[in-house]
Amino acid sequence: MGAFEKYLSVWVGLCIVVGIGLGAVIPGAFSALAALEYANVNFAVAVLIWAMVWPMMIGIDFSAMRRVGERPKGLIITLVVNWLIKPFTMAMLGVLFFRHIFAGWIPAADAEGYLAGLILLGAAPCTAMVFVWSQLTRGDPNYTLVQVSVNDTIMVFAFAPIVAFLLGVTEISVPWETLLLSVALYVVIPLIAGVLTRNALTRQGGEAAVTGFTHRMKPLSVIGLLATVVLLFGFQSGTILAQPAVIALIAVPILIQSYGIFALAYAAAWAWKVPHRIAAPCALIGTSNFFELAVAVAISLFGLNSGAALATVVGVLVEVPVMLSLVAFANRTRSAFVTTEGEAAAP
């Protein structure tokens, strides 16, 4: 690991400061970039995420995909955590903090809006960025693709009923444009590009050519990640500077949820002797969120300036720093897990 990657958390911290600063100094530029969106999917961010995801997609070997079913443990952990635990723990934490612990500090109407936003975040597992976290932890790209695909399929059917139940409303309209566009931009297009690139590289020099190319492209992923941080914090610079205390309060249950869900999934994978290349991504999938979907539903249900929409935005801001800290922890604890052969993993 090079010095740049070793101190990635430092660079991310600097990018957060730079993003907030630039957003305050040149708000017009960030407003113009923020306007480049459709169905709450921002195309500037999409391009950067594509740059991060594409190198990992090159590593996917479809000939090995059929063997994923022989290793069901990681997928089972992901599905149980994402759909039977995570939405409900997020709702419980939201109730605990916004109806009780923070009740004296926040107006009741605002608190209910923040609670609704947290519920939307908890019911939407990650689609795009999990490929980045998997790559940073040297995860199995084939297995990660299967996990994301299965989660996306379940989300189509389970998201609306779970959210409707937890919010106590009779019907939730799933923003299909947001869901389908996000999957197309973040999964389908980079996957096709990855397959075409892999085939071309394999014809030229076999697996060695694939490995060499992905290694050379790794800086592209890191640059894309840092640029994404600058954009996300630049977009919300005004909100952060105007309501820092509210942002901090909303972040508390999100932080507890993120670290708690990761600990649960990661510990389960360790106890069940899941190899690290599968264990790390399966824990990280449950920790991160499909924020485009959560933001879109919050705006459609409660309005652009609602507390629910603000809470989903805080989820976006919190996610990258939190996930990078968990990536670092996963990498440091690699040796505690087994390999597919049942031996200690290489540190």
| Percent over 70 (pLDDT), the chain | 93
Is the pLDDT assigned to residue 25 strictly greater than 90?
Answer: yes
Interval 52-91: pLDDT, tens: 888 878 877 776 666 667 789 999 999 999 999 999 999 9
Whose CA is closest to 82, among 281, 273, 251?
Answer: 281
pLDDT for position 39: 81
What is the CB neighbour count within 10 angstroms for residue 81? 22
Closest CA to 279 of 245, 329, 313, 233: 329
Mean pLDDT of 275-293: 90
**Structural contact between residues 297 and 120, judged by C-beta atoms closer than 8 angstroms:** yes
Please state, in angstroms and rounded to a whole number, the distance separating the CA atoms of residues 226 and 320: 10
Q: Give the pLDDT score at 316.
A: 84
pTM: 0.86
pLDDT of residue 124 exceeding 50, the answer is yes
Whether 344 shows a pLDDT value over 80: the answer reads: no
pLDDT the model gives residue 343: 41
Among 29-43, 45-59, 256-270, the least confident range: 45-59
Where does residue 203 rank: exposed (0-12), middle (13-18), buried (19+ CB within 10 A)?
A: exposed
Using a 10 angstrom Cβ sphere, with 0-12 exposed, 13-18 middle and 19 or more buried, the burial of residue 43 is middle
Average pLDDT of span 245-250:
94
**Distance of alpha carbon 265 from alpha carbon 86, whole angstroms:** 10
Residue 342 has pLDDT above 80, yes or no: no
Query: In whole angstroms, what is the distance from residue 284 CA to residue 259 CA?
Result: 10
Please determine, for residue 347, whether its predicted confidence score (pLDDT) is greater than 50. no
Tens of pLDDT, residues 127-175: 778 888 998 899 998 899 888 888 888 888 899 899 989 988 656 667 8
pLDDT value at 101 more than 50: yes
**Cβ neighbours around 92 below 10 Å, total:** 14
Long-range pairs, 64-68, Cβ under 8 A, ≥24: 64/142, 65/142, 65/145, 65/146, 68/142, 68/143, 68/146
User: Does residue 2 have a pLDDT over 70?
Assistant: no
Q: How many CA atoms lie within 13 A of 168 on its CB side?
A: 4
- Output the average pLDDT for the chain: 87
State the pLDDT confidence band at 182, using cuts at 50, 70 and 90: confident
